[in-house]
Amino acid sequence: MIQIIGAVISLVGSMFIFLGALGVVRMPDVYNRMQAGTKATTLGSMLTLIGIGIVLPGWLGKLLLLVVFIIITNPISSHALARAAHHAGIKLTEKSVRDNLKEDYPKEDDNG
């Protein structure tokens, strides 16, 4: 029984990771793709790892530690990538409503 619960949680997690991959294909520009590609790992890998931890309780401590490290490092890497993309002057998609960062610091972005 506990194995089935763990497996279902892992399955839901991998579904979120699949949705993230789908987002990378469907989204129109770098920033939206990054949203899909990096955020899916937050809940997706958390659920996958916790599901494994429920099936194998001996590993739960180490897996929770992995979740903590993902929570700490994931936002830093996605922030750094997005910031680098904006500084390199990559345009937002045509659908975008506005870009306050470009309005406030136009020079910085044009330098590339």
Partner 1 sequence: MHKVKPGIILFVILFGLWLLLAGADRDELIVAAAASLVISVLFAGRASALGSVRLHPKAIAYAVIFFFVFLKELVHSTIDVAGRLLSPRLPINPGIVKVRTRLKSPLGRIILANTITLTPGTMTIETKGEYYYIHWIDIRTEDIDSSTEAIVAKFEKYLEVIFG
The binding site for partner 1 (CB under 8 A) comprises 16, 19, 22-23, 26-29, 31-32, 34-36, 38-40, 42-43, 61-62, 64-65, 71-72, 74-76, 78-79, 82-83, 86, 92-93, 95-102, 104
Paired tokens of 30: 């770098």
Min dist. Cβ of residue 102 to partner 1 (A): 7
**Least distance between partner 1 and beta carbon 57 (Å):** 12
Spatial distance between the Cα atoms of 27 and 36, rounded to a whole number of angstroms: 8
12 sits in which H/E element = helix 2-26
Residues 109, 95: Cα–Cα separation, whole Å:
20
